[in-house]
């Protein structure tokens, strides 16, 4: 049992294997330099047995209006349009977001610009990139009026996604510094979740500047369907209920399990008093890894209240006795 590779992936895999074989021969011959060179080639090729191409998860150049972006907070001046104070132009097209498009930000600002929700459930890797033009008060390396991003998986508790950014346009001694700059952040830690990201901006009580401007926000990644994650999982040989992720969750979660053979599977949700809430799967399924989303609704498509729920997986391979496995999950408000 293994993963199915396309012919191109198979060829790359074979090349990696050949380099590795050569490397091991080098090692036996005590030729360490050749061993390192060939091993590096092997690793590079293994990395390139890339199961899925890069795909766009989310993109917005702000040329089609505000969409599902929201903003708010104290002295919130996030505005969408063409800047007339700050950058000479947007990064792309006519529109970007800016903290006051035609003037400085205010003192004592504390505000946010929130992305639409982004579903990272099915990806094996994901990255966020955006273009930023940022002129804020920072003196001798200390940022008094910082811009940064934070992220949540439960729509409630936000955690910093990057450190606080200083201005990139505020040193007249260094020509050509700054302007529109691209920032890339790794979202790998948040795979398997639906996330919400926001730009945050804070200023202190003194000295204001043009502020932050944002354009071309892009989230991209690779699907996990035939990826490394699926490969690892399929190498297992046990029927196992892996549980749900995220857990606790508020709006949606995904339940993962593995079957060691083709079997009839029933996946049921019970509440803490033992009442059947919903049956997510009642079907014959293939051996291997499965992931089933649950949106927190009962069988009549009504949202269930917050609390403790149980996933019960009942697996019946052929005429044999069925296997029942139960796991607890917690739904927050």
Nearer to Ca ion, 66 or 279 (CB): 66
Residue 207 interacting with Ca ion (CB under 5 A): yes
Segment 214-243, which members bind Ca ion (CB under 5 A)?
215
- Does 109 interact with Ca ion (rule: CB under 5 A)? no
Other C-beta atoms closer than 10 Å to the C-beta of 32 total: 10
- Least Å distance, CB 163 to Ca ion, is 18
d(CA 118, CA 113): 15
Taking CB under 5 A as the criterion, the residue among 76, 145, 202, 258 binding Ca ion is 145
Separation of alpha carbons 265 and 286, rounded Å: 10
If one asks whether residue 203 binds Ca ion (CB under 5 A), the answer comes out as yes
Min dist. Cβ of residue 182 to Ca ion (A): 14
**Residue with smaller CB distance to Ca ion, 137 or 258:** 137
The two tokens of residue 202 are: 């804070």
Count other Cβ atoms within 10 Å, centred on residue 313: 25
Residues 6+ apart with CB under 8 A from 231: 2, 3, 51
Q: Indicate which single residue of 13, 144, 148, 223 sits in contact with Ca ion (rule: CB under 5 A).
A: 144
Using the contact rule CB under 5 A, the part of the chain among 18-26, 48-56, 61-69, 236-244 near Ca ion is 61-69
State which of residues 31, 82, 92, 181 lies at the interface with Ca ion (CB under 5 A).
92
Which member of 12, 210, 250, 278 binds Ca ion (CB under 5 A)? 210
Member of 60, 100, 138, 202 binding Ca ion (CB under 5 A)? 100
Beta carbon of residue 311, minimum distance to Ca ion (angstroms, whole number): 44
Least separation in angstroms between CB 330 and Ca ion: 41
CB 120 within 8 A of CB 188: no
**98 and 221 Cβ atoms separated by less than 8 Å:** no
Residue 133 found at the interface with Ca ion (CB under 5 A): no
62 near Ca ion, judged by CB under 5 A: yes
Rule CB under 5 A: which residues touch Ca ion?
61-62, 86, 90, 92-93, 95, 100, 103, 137, 144-145, 203-204, 207, 210-211, 215
């Amino acid at each position: 049992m293994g993963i199915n590779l396309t012919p191109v992936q198979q060829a790359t895999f074979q090349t990696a294997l050949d380099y590795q074989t050569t490397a091991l021969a080098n090692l036996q011959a005590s030729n360490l330099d050749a061993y390192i060179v060939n091993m590096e080639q092997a690793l590079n090729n293994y990395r390139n047995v890339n199961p899925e191409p890069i795909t766009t998860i989310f993109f917005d150049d702000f040329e089609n209006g505000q969409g599902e972006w929201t903003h708010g907070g104290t002295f919130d001046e996030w505005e969408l349009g063409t800047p007339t104070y700050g950058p000479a132009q947007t990064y792309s097209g006519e529109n970007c977001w800016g903290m006051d498009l035609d003037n400085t930000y205010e003192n004592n600002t504390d505000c946010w610009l929130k992305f639409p929700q982004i579903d990272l459930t099915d990806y094996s890797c994901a990255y966020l990139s955006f273009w930023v033009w940022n002129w804020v008060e920072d003196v001798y390396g200390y940022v008094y009026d910082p811009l940064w991003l934070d992220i949540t998986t439960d729509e409630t508790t936000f955690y910093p996604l990057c450190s606080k950014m200083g201005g990139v346009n505020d040193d007249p001694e260094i020509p050509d510094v700054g302007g529109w700059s691209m920032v890339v952040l790794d979202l790998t830690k948040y795979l398997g979740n639906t996330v919400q990201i926001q730009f945050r901006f804070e200023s202190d009580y003194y000295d204001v500047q043009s502020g932050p401007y944002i354009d071309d926000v892009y989230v991209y990644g690779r699907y996990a369907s035939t990826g490394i994650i699926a490969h690892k999982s399929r190498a297992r040989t046990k029927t196992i209920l892996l549980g749900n992720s995220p857990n606790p969750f508020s709006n949606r979660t995904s339940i993962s399990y593995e079957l060691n053979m083709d079997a009839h599977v029933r996946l049921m949700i019970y509440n803490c008093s033992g009442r059947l809430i919903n049956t997510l799967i009642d079907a014959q399924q293939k051996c291997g890894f499965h992931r089933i989303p649950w949106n927190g609704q009962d069988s009549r498509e009504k949202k269930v209240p917050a609390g403790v729920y149980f996933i019960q997986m009942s697996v019946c391979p052929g005429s044999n006795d069925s296997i029942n496995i139960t796991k607890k999950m917690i739904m927050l408000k």
